[in-house]
């Protein structure tokens, strides 16, 4: 066989194999962080090549309301209206999954996601308020100095250290004697709160053993404890547990109650990986106003530690401010997966939620399209494709058969492309796909008509085929590039569903050009080579 044909066949083979590889469902092992323990663990995720939309397979339905547990929200309707916009932007950036985001009644937000594989991640993205702020830690150790007073206040309130379990005797004698015994024991007992806190490496940093974290959290939330915390200081937990040796600890930071800057001044955020340390990080850029303020504050606080606080949790260990920082900064996420960094960048970019949201209802929902409509859609698609093939075969005979074979590869290529982009298939999408097959024959028709014209001019078969392909090319290229440019702009300018449509269109254009120009040409080359004496061509 001709070397040229062999190379072409090898290329086609490679493309087919790649396309099919994208279409095979497979299990992927990912290292993710366990949300409870904060440790890394391996989980197996099944990657489905082409996801089905809400209309074809259903998904989850989440109803969210404004969370007023952390303070009242004056106008919930307005908060929800603004939250709807933010959540929609976040989900649109999350991928082309054609979600539903709408307000129900006055103060409720509905989010529906098609067969969401990882509802926890989706919920995290929706619920995250993404309120970013920077605060200086308690450099003068005012909180540490106030600890004895806090312990005393707790003692007065009768709160005992729960580290020592009540003795068997006190249980036997019942409640009456308990108060008496407790009083005498508490007099020389160590401080309730201070016994649970260990001084960390930085000023204002404390660590708490992970298992005592809930206890400390409830202690510092008590009004009498809060009254004793020095003015101008607030307590914030670290975002995740850290393991030191065999035990895991959680950090507690005493920070300034005033933030030097908030996420409102943020205009850009991107996920990156540090090339040297391989750590995940989010780089951000501040607005001009934010940069000026940030520059002043960081210049004043050189040598101090600055806590990066997201939704009330301190991200990583507060770094030391080494020099003045202006417009560009970064948040280090340590060993967390890059996925988490890009999720964070995404929520920072999409904006902060005007109020925290809480999930009030979670349900699985069925497909909105009945089985009968799906079946009718598939039947119609098959009939339509069948008719197209029939026309090609009757009109162009043997050449038509080659085009039909190339069209089969078109289907494989475009499905592979859709799988590669993580496309969500809906019933209208299916109709669009059937229609694209009707349009994909266009390039073949252009070529075949051209070959016929060349034959009519009295050219030999071989020459007519060569010239036909050559002359049809400018029409094919120009018309397809124009359409591709249109699709590209729809993708860049459009939102959500328009973008999904543009991707389908682009993939269809490239797959059809590939199949008509390259694959059909290869088939013709083989055909002509096997029948070198051919004087008439079946076209």
Partner 1 sequence: MLRLFKNANYDFVGIRRRAYVFSALLIVPGLVWLLISGLNYSIEFTGGTLIQIRTDSAVGTGAIRTALTNAGLTGAEVKTFGSDREYAIRARVSAEGAGTEVGTQETVRAVHGALDAELGAGTYTIVRGEAVTPKVGGELQEKAIIAILFSFVVTLIYLAFRFEWRFGLAAIAATAHDILATIAFIRYLNLEVSLVVVAAVLTIVGYSLNDTIVIFDRVRENLRKYRRQNLYEILNLSINETLPRTVLTGGTTILTALTLAFIAGEVIRPFSLVMTFGIIVGTFSSIFVAAPVLRWIEQRWPGEDARGARTIGVRVPDRPTAPPPPATPPASRTPQPTR
Please select the residue that binds partner 1; options are 37, 243, 495, 529, rule is CB under 8 A: 495
By CB under 8 A, residue 453 contacts partner 1:
yes
Smallest distance, partner 1 to C-beta of residue 345, A = 22
By CB under 8 A, residue 359 contacts partner 1:
no
By CB under 8 A, residue 198 contacts partner 1:
no
Please select the residue that binds partner 1; options are 78, 264, 311, 449, rule is CB under 8 A: 449
By CB under 8 A, residue 398 contacts partner 1:
no
Q: Which residue has the tokens 């005498």?
A: 184
Footprint (CB under 8 A) of partner 1, residues 471-490: 471, 474-475, 478-483, 485-487, 489-490
Asked whether the CA dihedral 214, 215, 216, 221 is positive or negative, the reply is positive
Query: Which residues are registered as beta bridge partners of 364?
Result: 60
What are the Cα distances from residue 244, in Å, to 60, 200, 250, 259, 511? 39, 12, 10, 30, 54
Please select the residue that binds partner 1; options are 240, 404, 437, 514, rule is CB under 8 A: 437
Please select the residue that binds partner 1; options are 209, 230, 334, 428, rule is CB under 8 A: 428
91 within 8 A of 124, measured Cβ to Cβ: no
By CB under 8 A, residue 95 contacts partner 1:
no
By CB under 8 A, residue 90 contacts partner 1:
no
Smallest distance, partner 1 to C-beta of residue 489, A = 4
Distance CA(522)–CA(5), nearest Å, equals: 7
Q: Which residue has the tokens 């988490």?
A: 340
Other CB atoms within a 10 A radius of the CB of residue 398 amount to 12
By CB under 8 A, residue 62 contacts partner 1:
no
By CB under 8 A, residue 108 contacts partner 1:
yes
Smallest distance, partner 1 to C-beta of residue 161, A = 46
Please select the residue that binds partner 1; options are 51, 88, 128, 236, rule is CB under 8 A: 88
Distance CA(97)–CA(244), nearest Å, equals: 41
By CB under 8 A, residue 501 contacts partner 1:
yes
> How big is the site for partner 1, counted in residues (CB under 8 A)?
79
What are the tokens at 295? 């520059």
Smallest distance, partner 1 to C-beta of residue 89, A = 9
Stretch that binds partner 1, among 156-164, 241-249, 301-309, 358-366 (CB under 8 A): 358-366
CB nearer to partner 1: pick between 73 and 475: 475
By CB under 8 A, residue 539 contacts partner 1:
yes
Please select the residue that binds partner 1; options are 37, 497, 529, 531, rule is CB under 8 A: 497
67 within 8 A of 360, measured Cβ to Cβ: no
CB nearer to partner 1: pick between 227 and 489: 489
Q: Which residue has the tokens 């001709």?
A: 2
The tally of CA atoms less than 13 A away on the side-chain side of residue 134 is 26
First-to-last CA distance in the chain? 24
CB nearer to partner 1: pick between 76 and 196: 76
Rg (C-alpha) for the chain, rounded Å, is 33
Please select the residue that binds partner 1; options are 71, 105, 174, 245, rule is CB under 8 A: 105
279 within 8 A of 332, measured Cβ to Cβ: yes
Footprint (CB under 8 A) of partner 1, residues 361-380: 363-370, 372-373, 376-377, 379-380
Please select the residue that binds partner 1; options are 10, 387, 408, 463, rule is CB under 8 A: 387
Smallest distance, partner 1 to C-beta of residue 406, A = 15
Other CB atoms within a 10 A radius of the CB of residue 74 amount to 7
Q: Which residue has the tokens 């339905």?
A: 61
Closest by alpha carbon to 308, among 330, 288, 335, 327?
330
By CB under 8 A, residue 383 contacts partner 1:
yes
CB nearer to partner 1: pick between 40 and 457: 457
Largest CA distance in the chain: 118
Asked whether the CA dihedral 40, 41, 42, 45 is positive or negative, the reply is negative
The tally of CA atoms less than 13 A away on the side-chain side of residue 305 is 21
Please select the residue that binds partner 1; options are 439, 462, 470, 529, rule is CB under 8 A: 439
């Amino acid at each position: 066989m001709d070397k040229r044909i062999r190379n072409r066949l090898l290329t086609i083979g490679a493309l087919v194999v790649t396309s099919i590889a994208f279409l095979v469902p497979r299990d992927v092992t990912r290292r993710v962080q366990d949300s409870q323990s904060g440790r890394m663990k391996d989980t197996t995720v099944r990657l489905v090549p082409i996801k089905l939309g809400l209309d074809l397979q259903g998904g989850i339905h989440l109803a969210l309301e404004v969370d007023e547990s952390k303070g009242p929200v004056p106008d919930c309707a307005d908060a929800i209206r603004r939250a709807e916009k933010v959540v929609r932007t976040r989900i649109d950036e999350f991928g082309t999954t054609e979600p539903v985001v709408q307000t129900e009644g006055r103060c409720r937000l509905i989010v529906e996601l098609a067969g969401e594989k990882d509802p926890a991640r989706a919920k995290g993205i929706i619920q995250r308020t993404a309120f970013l702020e920077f605060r200086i830690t308690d450099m003068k150790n005012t909180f540490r100095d106030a600890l004895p007073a806090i312990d005393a206040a707790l003692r007065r309130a009768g709160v005992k250290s729960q580290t020592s379990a009540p003795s068997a005797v006190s249980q036997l004698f019942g409640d009456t004697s308990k108060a008496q015994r407790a009083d005498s024991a508490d007099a020389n007992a160590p401080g309730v709160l201070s016994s649970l806190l260990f001084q960390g490496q930085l000023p204002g940093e404390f660590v708490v053993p992970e298992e005592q974290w809930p206890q400390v959290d409830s202690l510092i939330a008590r009004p009498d404890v809060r009254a004793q915390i020095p003015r101008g200081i607030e307590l914030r937990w670290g975002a995740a547990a850290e393991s030191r040796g065999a035990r895991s600890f959680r950090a507690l930071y005493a920070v300034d109650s005033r933030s030097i800057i908030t996420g409102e001044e943020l205009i850009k955020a991107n996920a990156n990986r540090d090339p040297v340390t391989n750590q995940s990080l989010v780089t951000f850029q501040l607005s001009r106003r934010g940069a000026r303020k940030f520059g002043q504050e960081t210049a004043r606080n050189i040598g101090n530690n600055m806590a990066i606080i997201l939704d009330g949790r301190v991200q990583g260990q507060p770094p030391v401010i080494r020099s003045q920082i202006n417009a560009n900064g970064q948040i280090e996420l340590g060993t967390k997966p890059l996925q988490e960094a890009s999720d964070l960048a995404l929520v920072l970019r999409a904006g902060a939620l005007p109020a925290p949201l809480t999930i009030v209802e979670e349900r699985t929902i069925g497909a909105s399209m009945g089985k009968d409509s799906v079946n009718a859609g598939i039947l119609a698609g098959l009939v339509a494709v069948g008719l197209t093939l029939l026309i090609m075969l009757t009109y162009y005979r043997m050449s038509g058969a080659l085009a039909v074979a190339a069209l089969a590869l078109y289907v494989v290529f475009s499905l592979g492309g859709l799988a590669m982009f993580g496309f969500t298939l809906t019933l209208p999408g299916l109709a669009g796909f059937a229609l694209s097959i009707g349009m994909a024959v266009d390039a073949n028709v252009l070529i075949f008509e051209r070959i016929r014209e060349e034959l009519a001019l009295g050219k030999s078969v071989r020459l007519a085929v060569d010239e036909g392909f050559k002359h049809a090319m400018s029409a094919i290229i120009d018309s397809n590039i124009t359409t591709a440019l249109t699709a590209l702009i729809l993708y860049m300018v459009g939102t959500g569903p328009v973008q999904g449509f543009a991707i389908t269109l682009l993939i269809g254009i490239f797959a059809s050009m590939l199949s008509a120009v390259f694959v059909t040409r290869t088939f013709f080359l083989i055909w002509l080579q096997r029948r070198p004496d051919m004087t008439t061509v079946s076209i």
